[in-house]
């Protein structure tokens, strides 16, 4: 049994679990504040919320910088820890994956279970991340080796598995290309974690590129077939969340990756990385209207073939195979099991 903790912010953590679980041979149970997704009702532990009611500044939310979220005197925090601990004692998982939570990783390890944090981009060298990464049995990095890990200590690199972009669309067959139209099309993709860009900003970019059609997709206005739209867009403009970038990479789409503000500089780091690798245009702010014509033309000239350096097309399968192997290799010995 593998336990997989899913953070409730945005939609990418859950999408990553679902992509990996498709390939796992080990049984898996999701642990999250989120409700069980369709098909997971019998393998899901719904956790109490740890942010309702919202704690105040006097509640020492981060334990003096040692953790990220552990407000004092908050019933939800205690109930959440109790629920996870009770599940571990009952299910006896061989491995717990945390995507993402320092506190869940520490709690799992305190229960005597090997833990594997999913490692996100940005500066993760604070004390809390260092604690979680140091106690981990392995680190799952859903991006290419050498992208965000160049400043890592060797002890982290030695236990990391770099699977590249990990997409729900890995290995999906490409749709049949439609006949070329007279007007190129921009597909704008937003996620569920919030955005810095206003509707007026997008409207200004559209007005500055009169030869292009613009289509926006978001959780509030979902695509009827996102894979088809990613594969057939002339240029995709996407936020720099890990799953969105992985989906664009899987489609090998010419792209502009626009960072949105996130903790630890996560999306800014990804936008800089895709630009540094030369796989897409990467910017850390929404460009001014007059910048868009040249930006789109550069994206078209570059094309999408460079995404092969970011995504192998088997990231989810490789992650699952590695987790299965860890769960097998880190299983307790017969003597230890008997002692329990």
6 and 57 assigned to the same domain: yes
Per-position DSSP letters for 3-22, written without gaps between them: EEEE-SSSSHHHHHHHHHHT
Up-side HSE of residue 53: CA atoms within 13 Å toward CB?
Answer: 4
In this structure, are 86 and 159 located in the same domain? Answer: yes
Q: Say if residue 272 is in the same domain as residue 321.
A: no
Q: Which domain holds residue 219?
A: 185-309
Q: Assign residue 196 the CATH number of its domain.
A: 3.40.50.2000
172 falls within a domain: no
CA torsion angle for 93, 97, 101, 106 (degrees, to 10)?
50
Q: Are 127 and 70 in contact (CB under 8 A)?
A: no
Residues 159 and 205 in one domain: no
Q: Quote the number of domains for the chain.
A: 2
Distance, CA of 231 to CA of 191 (rounded, Å)? 18
Quick one: pLDDT at residue 340?
Answer: 47
Task: Please indicate, yes or no, whether residues 25 and 151 belong to a single structural domain of this protein.
Answer: yes
Residues 151 and 255 both lie in one domain: no
Q: What are the tens digits of pLDDT across the range 193-217? A: 889 899 999 999 999 999 999 999 9
- As a whole number, the mean pLDDT across the chain is 94
**123/211 same-domain check:** no
What is the mean predicted confidence (pLDDT) over 55-78?
A: 93
Q: Is the per-residue pLDDT at 334 higher than 60?
A: no
**Are residues 80 and 30 part of one domain?**
yes
Q: What is the pTM of this model?
A: 0.92
Split at pLDDT 50, 70, 90, the class of 181 is low
* Residue 270 tokens, joined: 């990804």
**What's the half-sphere exposure (Cβ side, CA atoms, 13 Å) at 138?**
19
Query: In sequence order, what are the residues at sequence separation of 6 or more whose Cβ sits closer than 8 angstroms to the Cβ of residue 311?
Result: 164, 165, 167, 170, 246, 249, 250
| Same domain? 24 vs 159 | yes
Q: What percent of the chain has pLDDT over 90?
A: 87
- On whether residue 329 sits in a domain, the answer given is yes
**CA 9 to chain CA mean position, Å:** 10
Task: Look at the block and give the residue holding tokens 């690199």.
Answer: 157
Judge whether 2 and 97 are in contact, CB under 8 Å: yes
Torsion 225-226-230-236 (CA) sign = positive
Task: Give the pLDDT score at 338.
Answer: 47
- Residue 275 lies inside a defined structural domain of this protein: yes
Residue 178 is assigned to a structural domain of this protein: no
Looking at the structure, tell me whether residues 58 and 92 fall in a common domain: yes
Task: Give a yes or no: residue 174 inside a domain.
Answer: no
134, containing H or E segment:
helix 127-135
Q: What is the pLDDT of residues 82-113, one digit of tens each?
A: 999 999 999 999 999 999 999 999 999 999 99
- Residues 243 and 275 grouped into a single domain: yes
- Domain membership of residue 176 (yes or no) is no
Bridge partners (DSSP) of residue 117 are: 98
> In this structure, is residue 177 part of a structural domain?
no
Is there a domain that residue 250 lies in? yes
DSSP conformational letter for 1: -
Label each residue of 39-108 as H, E or C. CCHHHEEECCCCCCCCCCHHHCCCCCCCCCCCCCCCHHHHHHHHHHHHHHHHHCCCEEEEECCHHHHHHH
pLDDT digits 0-9 by tens, 227-284: 999 999 999 999 999 999 999 999 999 999 999 999 898 999 999 999 999 999 999 9
Q: Which long-range contacts (CB under 8 A, 24 or more apart) does 271-277 make?
A: 271/240, 273/121, 273/143, 273/147, 273/148, 274/240, 274/245, 274/310, 277/144, 277/147, 277/306, 277/309, 277/310
Same domain, 122 and 251: no
**Does position 147 have pLDDT exceeding 90, yes or no?**
yes
Statement: residue 38 has pLDDT above 60:
yes
Is 94 within 8 Å of 102 (Cβ atoms)?
no
């Amino acid at each position: 049994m593998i336990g997989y903790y899913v953070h409730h912010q945005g939609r990418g953590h859950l999408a990553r679990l679902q992509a990996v679980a498709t390939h796992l041979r080990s049984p898996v149970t999701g642990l999250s504040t989120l409700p069980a997704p369709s098909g997971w009702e019998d393998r899901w532990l719904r956790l109490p919320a740890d942010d309702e009611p919202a704690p105040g500044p006097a509640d020492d939310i981060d334990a003096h910088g040692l953790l990220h979220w552990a407000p004092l005197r908050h019933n939800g925090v205690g109930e959440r820890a109790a629920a996870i601990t009770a599940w571990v004692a009952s299910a006896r998982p061989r491995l717990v994956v945390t995507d993402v939570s320092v506190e869940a990783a520490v709690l799992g390890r305190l229960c005597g279970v090997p833990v594997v944090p999913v490692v996100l981009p940005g500066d993760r060298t604070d004390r809390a991340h260092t604690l979680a990464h140091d106690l981990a049995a392995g680190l799952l990095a859903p991006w290419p080796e050498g992208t965000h890990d160049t400043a890592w200590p060797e002890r982290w690199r030695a236990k990391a598995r770099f699977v590249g972009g990990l997409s729900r669309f890995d290995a999906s067959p490409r749709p049949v290309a439609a006949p070329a139209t007279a007007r190129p099309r921009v597909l704008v993709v937003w996620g569920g974690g919030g955005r810095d860009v206003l509707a007026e900003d997008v409207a200004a970019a559209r007005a500055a590129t009169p030869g292009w059609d613009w289509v926006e997709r978001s959780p509030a206005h979902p695509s009827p077939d996102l894979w088809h739209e990613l594969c057939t867009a002339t240029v995709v403009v996407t936020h720099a969340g890990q799953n969105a970038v992985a989906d664009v990479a899987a489609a090998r789409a010419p792209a502009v990756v626009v960072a949105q503000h996130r903790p630890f500089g996560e999306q800014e780091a990804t936008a800089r990385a895709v630009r540094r690798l030369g796989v897409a245009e990467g910017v850390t702010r929404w460009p001014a209207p007059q910048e868009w014509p040249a930006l789109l033309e550069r994206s078209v000239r570059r094309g999408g073939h460079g995404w092969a350096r970011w995504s192998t097309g088997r990231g989810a399968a490789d992650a699952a195979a590695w987790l299965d192997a860890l769960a097998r290799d880190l299983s307790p010995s017969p003597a230890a099991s008997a002692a329990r």
